[in-house]
Structures are given as C-alpha cells and as structure tokens.
Amino acid sequence: MSNKIIKFGNYFVEIFQNDKCIFRESNLVAYDLKSLKLIGAGLYAENKIREEGNFLSTRFFENDKMINIESFIFYLRYLKNTNILPKDEEITFIKMSKFLQEICKMEFPKAQFITQRKFYKNIISSNADFYVDLEYHATWIYEKNYGKIFKIDFGILKIQKSLNEYLSVNFNGLLNTKKTLALLDIISKKDFDSTEVELRAIGTGRPFKVKILKNSESLKPIEDLKSQIMKITNKKVVEGNIDFLKIIERQ
C-alpha cells in the first residue's frame, strides 16, 4: 500500500508511507485565551508553550482517548491546509469509532480505514521479522510471518512513573511530566554517562539539583522492558517506531 497512513498518538501525530515515517509532530493545538480561538497546531502549538502571552496549548488525544472533537477537526484541517495531507488524496486511517471516522470523511472524502494488524503489515520493511510499537500505556509487537500481535502492558507511562519513583526514593524529589520526558530523552542516549537535573523537593517544593549516573537504577525500567521484548523477538531482525528506536535501542 502506497497510501499515506495516519496514526494519532498520545503525544504525536505520525504519517507513514510504505515503511517510512514521513511526518511526526506534536498532537498539540494552541488557543488564544483572549479570543478563545484555535490559532495553530503541531510544531506551531508546541513552540507557543515556550512563549510568554495569553496562549494555551492542549492535546486533542490523551490517555488513548479522544478528548476534544473541536481540536481534532482543527488538526485535520491543519494537515489538509498545509498540504501535508491533500484533500483529494486517498488517506488511510487506523480504525476508530464510527463517529470519528465520519468526521475524517468530512475532511477527507477518500478516507479509508484499516485495522491495527494491517497497519503493522503495511509499515514493516521486507527484511524485518518483528515490528515493535512502543506506545503510552503498552508495547505492541507484530510478528510478520504469521501476523501475530503481542501486547506487553509496559509503555512510556510506566517508564516515566518508574523514573519518578527512583527520584523520589533516592533524592526525595520529583519532576513534572514534561521534565521527566526530557530526562528520559537524555538517559536513553547511547553516549549517556551522567547528567544534572533540578528536582522539586517532596513536601516543600523547593528546587534542588542532583546528578544522575549511567549505572544508576534510573535505567532499570528501560532494561526491564527491553528484556521482555527480547523474549518475544528472540534475536530476530527487529524494527520499530521512533520511540522504540530512541528509548529501547538507544539509536
């Protein structure tokens, strides 16, 4: 299938064509709090978070659920109006509720819908045996030869929670979600040796800095998930989504 396939995730919107991810931007949309109007999406909305002013950026999809239909429609139009997904092109979506599918058809009349299994079948490359999809709540593993899908109830959220538990137990401090993800990005790098991070003290909220080392327990949840994945893939040729490659494979 050469059609573009769109996937809505808890953090990102991704578009695949053949076995390549050709688009990946935040699923944020930005509001102007003075006019209460939607003013941008994706990378634009992400950048607005860092600016001073009367702006608010929120996600239309979170915790594996659609939480704002207006923002979802706005994002579809953002993809269409910026020509990322031309209106008259045959666009493929992963199946969702009939209501959401009808919304997609309103914006993209030639929209098609496929199952999760068919999605993996279309994006896995010819030389790979398994495709690993590291998501927010779980990790999905697609085995190509028989079309089997395995689920591990261990995703990015559990890694985040384990990382904050480590910080809480060892330093009596915590990070917010955004800073936890930033720390996860740092410790996942192949050349990671150590880093300094500012925590908020439990109880007082006072900021203080600590040093995280490569050989610390901070890496344990990543290694635990990697071990579970390897039990299924059994040293075969494995590829996966960007989060799997970055966090687990440390590429």
pLDDT tens readout for residues 138-188: 999 999 999 999 999 999 999 999 999 999 999 999 998 888 989 999 998
Asked which of 117, 150, 178 is the last residue of a domain, the reply is: 117
Examine the domain organization and report whether 139 and 249 are in the same domain: yes
Structure confidence at residue 88 (pLDDT): 80
Examine the domain organization and report whether 129 and 251 are in the same domain: yes
Asked which of 69, 86, 117 is the last residue of a domain, the reply is: 117
Examine the domain organization and report whether 77 and 143 are in the same domain: no
Examine the domain organization and report whether 224 and 207 are in the same domain: yes
Examine the domain organization and report whether 71 and 132 are in the same domain: no
Examine the domain organization and report whether 155 and 234 are in the same domain: yes
Examine the domain organization and report whether 11 and 80 are in the same domain: yes
Question: Cα–Cα distance between 206 and 168 in angstroms, integer?
Answer: 14
Examine the domain organization and report whether 95 and 171 are in the same domain: no
Q: Which domain holds residue 178?
A: 125-251
Q: Both tokens of residue 234?
A: 């059994």
Examine the domain organization and report whether 129 and 49 are in the same domain: no
Asked which of 54, 89, 117 is the last residue of a domain, the reply is: 117
Examine the domain organization and report whether 168 and 234 are in the same domain: yes
Q: Both tokens of residue 55?
A: 């702006």
Q: Both tokens of residue 46?
A: 């992400």
Structure confidence at residue 2 (pLDDT): 64
Q: How many domains does the chain have?
A: 2
**Per-residue confidence of the chain (251 residues) as pLDDT tens digits?**
468 999 999 889 999 988 889 999 999 999 988 888 889 999 888 888 777 778 888 899 988 889 999 999 999 999 988 878 877 888 999 999 999 999 999 999 999 999 999 999 999 999 999 999 999 999 999 999 999 999 999 999 999 999 999 999 999 999 988 889 899 999 988 888 999 999 999 999 999 999 998 877 888 899 999 999 999 999 899 999 999 999 998 87
Question: Who contacts 91 (Cβ-Cβ below 8 Å, separation ≥6)?
Answer: 3, 4, 6, 85, 104, 108, 110, 111, 112
8 A C-beta contact, residue 23 and residue 13: yes
> Is residue 77 classed as helix, strand or coil in its secondary structure?
helix
Examine the domain organization and report whether 82 and 171 are in the same domain: no
CATH of the domain at 67: 3.30.420.40
Examine the domain organization and report whether 167 and 73 are in the same domain: no
The number of helices, as runs of H, and strands, as runs of E, in the chain is 8, 17
